[in-house]
Amino acid sequence: MTASAPTSTSAVIVISSHVVRGSIGNRAAVFALERLGHPVWEVPTVILPWHPGHGPAGRIIPDEAQFSTLIADIERAPWLDEVSAVLTGFMSNAAQVKAVAHLIATLKLRNPKLQYICDPVIGDTTGLYVAEATAVAIRDLLLPLADIATPNRYELGWLTQSEPTNNQELMEAAMRAGPDTMLITSAFALMRDSISNVLVSRTQALMAEHRIVQGPGNGMGDLTSAVFLARKMSGMNDEKALQTTTAAVFEILARAAKRGSDELMLEADASSLERPMAMVQLRRLVHPDNGMSA
């Protein structure tokens, strides 16, 4: 399927972390969206020299008043009619979440068709890596506004106070979480040595899986959220959007791993965002609501 050409009203506001070196947070999401033809309004929630996994370093976090002023200025910007989507990722504190929630609610009042995708960047296998108050604010203020959410399976477990052990339990938790469409990353796979993304909406359940690649995993969630949003904005259905998003991110990861890079190399592999060649296995799952194949 060929994506339709973005229009002057296809801008996306992206609100997440910014690093000096690397391809995570805003660096990943903004690159992908712009490469796929969307103007981006970028809002940093924190500035770091590199991903914390590479070693300790300082960080710059806008104080609450500065951040709130910035968000308020965006709310009154004369170009808001250009904006048709918002993507949020890492938040430094609960005050940022509150300000961003007000922005999204304001934009939705102005444009009921606005798409909001929430990537609740709060934790992984080790547990929460943000303050609990921040995670609670994301759960209580942002998820109820989201049209699409893209948690990893550990984040979904925390958000729903559950410990899913298989994809059926993941989908049941996703249905409780709120948004009409949930794309769960790092989900369980059926094939050996593989991993999957599971998408569940009110009417269907899908899984795209691929082999596990030992490589630079930082930024894959940010990239997945941005590419999936661009696919949906182009008019793709859920099945095609899931398949091509998973293929693109897998291909970029595999190529970076082959080079021995410690970061995703978006600048070298930008063509994979548009026309991924990697094969992923797409499956239809039993939807948790109806007990029948979707």
Average pLDDT over residues 55-69: 94
Domains in the chain: boundaries: 11-284
Q: How confident is the model at residue 8 (pLDDT cuts 50, 70, 90)?
A: low
Residue 2 has pLDDT above 90, yes or no: no
Residue 118: pLDDT band (50, 70, 90) is very high
pTM, two decimal places: 0.94
pLDDT of residue 174: 95
Does 59 score more than 50 pLDDT?
Answer: yes
Task: Give the architecture-level CATH label for domain 11-284.
Answer: 3-Layer(aba) Sandwich (3.40)
pLDDT at 9: 63
Spatial distance between the Cα atoms of 224 and 250, rounded to a whole number of angstroms: 10
pLDDT at 222 exceeding the cut of 80: yes
Q: What is the pLDDT of residue 291?
A: 54
Non-local (6+) Cβ contacts of 294 within 8 A are 203, 204, 205, 206, 284, 285, 286, 287
Among 286, 243, 284, 250, which residue's Cα sits nearest to residue 269? 250
Give percent above pLDDT 70 in the chain: 96
Q: Could you read off the pLDDT of 268-286 as tens digits, one per residue?
A: 999 999 999 999 999 999 9
**What's the pLDDT at 55?**
87
pLDDT digits 0-9 by tens, 158-202: 999 999 999 999 999 999 988 999 999 999 999 999 999 999 999
Euclidean distance between CA atoms 84 and 13, whole angstroms: 9
Q: Is the pLDDT of residue 132 over 90?
A: yes
pLDDT exceeds cutoff 50 at 224:
yes
Which pLDDT score is estimated for 284?
Answer: 95
CA 130 to CA 96: how far, in whole Å?
13
- Is the pLDDT score of 292 beyond 70? no
Find, among 102, 87, 69, 103, the residue nearest to 17 by Cα: 87
- Whether the predicted pLDDT of 151 surpasses 50: yes
Enumerate long-range contacts of 191-200, CB under 8 Å, 24 or more apart: 191/281, 196/167, 197/224, 197/242, 197/245, 197/246, 198/167, 198/170, 198/171, 198/174, 198/285, 199/238, 199/242, 200/171, 200/174, 200/175, 200/285, 200/287, 200/288
How far, in whole angstroms, is CA 248 from its chain's centroid?
14
Cα(155)–Cα(150) distance, integer angstroms = 9
Contact 164, 129 (CB under 8 A): no
